[in-house]
Structure 1
């Protein structure tokens, strides 16, 4: 047994082949080195082929890409121009707003007031006047027009009606002070408020005798035209109640009111303050 064990230990170890991967001297096998070199060559070849194909593709489609580039540049130029246009428009709007503010500061500021004045005996408010003040900048070529209506309200047990009656001659005298600021004009007429109360009293008696009620209210409107320091013409419309100052109306509303100054429709009719009678007004309610 001992001889056999000794014989086994003396057998030579197996010799490593040249194609084995692991070597005792830690060197890479030549076959693997060659394989890697082949792989590198193939990769370089594919890369070169791709580059050649890419160059060929770009050369073949040169016009297409140049068109895209030109379109992109044009689009960018359009966008930039649009942005610049928006900025310019905002600057224009700002300039217009600034101009409007300057004009507003340099514009006249009118105050319109209706007042009633007592007669010499201090027994009755005989006169109804409109006073026009300018509390702003200088105004030129001031001109006025008035539209006055009797608003009649008819009340009975069966019905309720309102009629707007145009009245001419309520303010026949326009007194200019000659000043561009302060009190610039007074509108009046001879005992117009006294005449109005006489008509109202007579109309009330007629209504009472017929078992109805008729109320009379005076509505005053003013159209004011002037030029400012920029020589721009302006037209303003006012509703002028008693006690309180005149209310500035929208242009469309003012134009509509003055379109009714001489009546409405084909049978348009207005009445003169000093000629109309209470009976005529009562007959407006059949």
Structure 2
């Protein structure tokens, strides 16, 4: 792209031209005449060195380069709006911005679909992108700081306590043992000795050494498990359980979801009830952002509906 001076209005025109793929529609939305928008398009083509819109039959379509500009334009326009009117109210019903959440895959099957449902209901014109929390470039702390993520959700046993990170507890979900419905361990017969002697299924995490979150919680209750099989993703676990005598320790909400779909059974752990705490993390850069506050409230509301407040306190 050349070094031409480009102002906020021209950025808005470029964004609208790409997303609407129409000079006349852009003119209508921006309250400008079609000749004015046509002049702006010619200028934008000169600046970018790209046609931006090309004809396909009877209509115009964005070029591949133009499509790559949508995301940075979203960010630029949101940043300009925040500078010019930082205290302005945010209207989810009309926003077209993109929100990005980092989350581990064990939330994929029940938590993320509920977030998407609530998100699309409140912000039908916006976009939401999920990234695997443990594979975010540079780590989720850096992604929150740089703006690559708006929010991170997880159940760390020791959440990041960095100076510019904010943390909010979402819910607690107790741990249970999941197995196939016709498992040789009969209902109500899962004792501490049986649990320790059984073979367990585990999911690999970012913990290269030491205990993971679940094993730390089990240790609090005086339990340990013999993990003989590991999977890279939580979503694979129930299908392995159906064809084996393995046990799988996980949260009650995830276990109940799997049981609603497959012939599996939940047994309580043979120790004092242990629970995982879920949190959402965000950086100070978005702490006062009306859009980010709305997103955090939405995620918090979904968590409360999915996991009752007393779920982590069952006795």
Using the size of structure 2 for normalisation, the TM-score is 0.19
Using the size of structure 1 for normalisation, the TM-score is 0.21
Q: Larger radius of gyration, structure 1 or 2?
A: 1
Task: Report which structure shows greater RCO (CA 8 Å, sep ≥6).
Answer: 2
Instruction: From the two aligned structures, give the one with the greater strand fraction.
Output: 1
